[in-house]
Amino acid sequence: MSSHVSPIREPLVQGHKTYHDITEDLVSPTERAPGAAWITGFALSVSMLGFGLFCIAWTIWHGIGTWNLNRTVGWGWDITNFVWWIGIGHAGTLISAILLLFRQKWRTGVN
C-alpha cells in the first residue's frame, strides 16, 4: 500500500526568525572579510588574467607566427582551437538531444 503524501510543503524557514534574522543570514557571507581560500583563488585568477593579456600582447607584437602559422603546415593553433571548440559544442548538443529522446526530466537542469 502507498502512503498519503500531503501537497502542503513544510515551512522553508524553521524556528522563530524575523525578516531581520533572515536578511542577516543571507547577506552575512558578502559582508564578511574574504577567507584565505578566496584570496588564493582570486590571486590565481588575476595571475591567469595577466598571463592571458601577456599572450595577447605577445601575439600582437610578434604576429600569428607564434601560433605556428609560419611553417608549411596548414593547421595552425587557431584552426585547431576552433575545431576543438566546435567539437565540444556538437558533443553538448548531441548529449542534450539524446537526453531529450529518452525523456530525461533532469535534462532541463543541464541546459
Read off the pLDDT of residues 45-60 as tens digits, 9 standing for 90 and up: 999 999 999 999 998 9
Does the structure show a pLDDT above 60 at 111? no
Residue 86 lies in a domain: yes
Q: Give pLDDT tens digits for 61-108.
A: 988 777 766 666 666 677 788 888 999 989 988 888 888 888 887 766
What confidence tier does 15 reach under pLDDT thresholds 50, 70, 90? confident
Residue 21 lies in a domain: yes
Cα dihedral 31, 36, 41, 47, rounded to 10, equals: 110
Residue 31 lies in a domain: yes
Residue 67 lies in a domain: no
- Looking at the fold, whether 22 and 50 belong to one and the same domain comes out as yes
- Looking at the fold, whether 77 and 110 belong to one and the same domain comes out as yes
Output the pTM of the full model: 0.50
- Looking at the fold, whether 58 and 22 belong to one and the same domain comes out as yes
Q: What is the pLDDT of residue 75?
A: 66
Structural domain of residue 76, as residue ranges? 72-111
Number of structural domains the chain divides into: 2
Helices (H), the chain: 19-31, 36-62, 77-101, 107-110
Of the three residues 43, 62, 81, the one that is the final residue of a domain is: 62
Residue 5 lies in a domain: no
